[in-house]
Structure 1
Amino acid sequence: MDRPGLADFLRRRRELLRPTDVGVAEGPRRRTPGLRREEVAMLAGVSTDHYTRLEQSRGSAPSESVVAALARALRCTVDERDHLFHLAGLSPPPRRAARHVSPGLLGVAGRLVDVPVAICSDISEVVWTNTLFSALMGDVGTRPGRASNITWRWFTEPGVRDRAPEEERDRLAAAHVSDLRATYSRRAGDSDVTELVDDLLQRSREFRVLWERHEVAVRRSDHKTFVHPEVGAVELRCEVLLTPEADIKLLAYFPLEGTDAARKLDVLRVIGTQTFATA
């Protein structure tokens, strides 16, 4: 690990960015060039203390997940991301888009502030969400390992389905499997895909039954209803933007026409991720 080099690179990348580049309000009396340390830490989902120590060439070595999160927060290109990994004494991940979100795609996502947005890999790993998506679905993108994988959680955590109406659950389960089957066919032999499928086959009988149907369909749009504990059912139209390599996708959820979804999203934008106890 090159501690001085890592510290210098992090600081220079931070000072190059402006708050508007990453969707952060500038606020009055900003003296720091670029972003503040606490802003980078917030965007990366790490503690301010841990990030500060990295910029000061001290503290514990960062994990692969922390380095990947910092690369996204600092809007690094793939080359810059690989350099960041080398400075941290780690081997860069494979050069697939699913392992890194381009600054351009993050820029597009950051401007969709009035609708829920998530960026996922082609095996449904959530790598980035905006505030409104977190208010609607919880902080899925901040969870470690398989806990950030939508398909894995759907078939292994029964409580996840509570946010979908009962009458839609069978259709959504089949859609999860047919989308994963398309990725499995396209990337046959890649360990991340085969390991996910093998583990799901072991853990979920429902997944095994659906997998054996051999239904294949890449989801490019969908109609979903989310049941939120505070605002109730929110009917949304999901549009999927696929990258040219088709191994990362941006999901934007727009209010379904003729429903009260837009009003409910406005309420969620105000209350954020707060929860309210019943008196």
Structure 2
Amino acid sequence: MDRLELAAFLRSRRERITPADVGLPAGPRRRTPGLRREEAAQLAYISTEYYTRLEQARGPRPSREVLAGLARALRLSDAERNHLHHLAGAPPGPSAGPSREVRQSIIDLLHRLPQAAAIVMSATYEVIAWNDLAAALMEDFSALSRRDRNLVRRVFLGPHPEGRPLYGQSDTDAFARTSAQHLRATAARYPDDPEVGGLVDELLAGSEEFARLWASHNVTAEPTLYKTLQHPLVGPVTVNCDVLDIADRDQRVVIYTADPGSPSEEALRLLSVIGTQRMDVPG
């Protein structure tokens, strides 16, 4: 365990996080722009005294549970998480759960596709990044809780406004089948992750359809090449679906494009102007 390097690393990671990043008020008289020690400790579920000793190079070797809490609280990347483990003298094992951190280059890619709607999904079908056109075509993901951004939960458990399929998709049954098969494979890769297990349990308890698909033990899904979404403002939009795997993060980029010169291409252009505003609701 390299106590001095560990202390410096923790301090540098803490100071780069603003209170707003983790939903805390800035409050008066902050000497640094980052989190206070007691705030970092609270987020990591350890005592302030213990965290302070770590930053002062006086603490004992942290357990793997403490290291996991620190990585979560300080919003470490996978590389930083591994570095933290090595500094603490506890070489990292495999990641316990699916990664939700999207590389900046992937986020930049989404925004360089102005004529395509694009999202990034985690291994559990949570939408973790999107561009403006995806928000206009599907929904404003920024207005949703993390729970409601999970598409496998939404397709099986709703809500489904006015009884319509999720986003009015023409392939709802195929999407449900594919997502259940992918989630079974995800559960096998992350057997100890409580979020994955909790999601599966919730779906099994709340959806007979999911329970039936889960019981089939299928893990191979046919790719979706195109689908039609019924948009409340511009009507049906038929899009091609291309999926790029990000193997090192266990994530997928889904890109929706319309055929050149088609009515759907015109619909996407209109949506790029309209954005997420609701023109059907009086101002």
TM tier, shorter chain? 0.5 to 0.7
**Partner SS state of residue 187, structure 2:** helix
Letter in 1 for 2:152: T
1:8 to 1:190, Cα distance in 2 relative to 1, 3 A: closer
Q: Pairwise mapping of residues 5-154 of structure 1 onto structure 2 (< 5 A)?
A: 8-10=15-17, 56=33, 61=39, 77-79=77-79, 94=95, 98-140=99-141, 142-154=143-155
Find the aligned partners of 1:243 and 1:112 in 2 and give their Cα distance: 18
Cα deviations by residue, 1:231-253 (Å, 9 ceiling, x for unpaired): 01111111111112461111111
User: What percentage of residue pairs aligned between the two structures are identical?
Assistant: 29
Within the candidate set 195, 199, 209, 2:198 is matched to 195
Cα deviations by residue, 1:142-168 (Å, 9 ceiling, x for unpaired): 533421100001111133625225x53
Letter in 2 for 1:116: A
**Partner SS state of residue 99, structure 2:** helix
2:208 maps to 1:205:
yes
Give the conservation status (yes or no) of the 8 Å contact 1:237–1:255. yes
TM-score between both structures, scaled by the size of structure 2 = 0.65
**Partner SS state of residue 172, structure 2:** helix
Paired residue for 1:161? 165
Gaps of 5+ in 2: 1-7, 45-70, 85-94
Q: How many residues align?
A: 233
**Partner SS state of residue 242, structure 2:** strand
Find the aligned partners of 1:52 and 1:111 in 2 and give their Cα distance: 39
- Structure of larger gyration radius: 2
Find the aligned partners of 1:246 and 1:219 in 2 and give their Cα distance: 22
Within the candidate set 230, 235, 240, 1:237 is matched to 240
Find the aligned partners of 2:144 and 2:17 in 1 and give their Cα distance: 23
Within the candidate set 254, 257, 270, 1:254 is matched to 257
Find the aligned partners of 2:29 and 2:203 in 1 and give their Cα distance: 39
1:81 to 1:233, Cα distance in 2 relative to 1, 3 A: farther
The CA deviation at 1:184 is 2.6
Moved more, 253-262 or 55-64: 55-64
Find the aligned partners of 2:28 and 2:280 in 1 and give their Cα distance: 36
Give the conservation status (yes or no) of the 8 Å contact 1:238–1:253. yes
1:53 to 1:265, Cα distance in 2 relative to 1, 3 A: farther
**Partner SS state of residue 16, structure 2:** helix
The CA deviation at 1:5 is 5.5
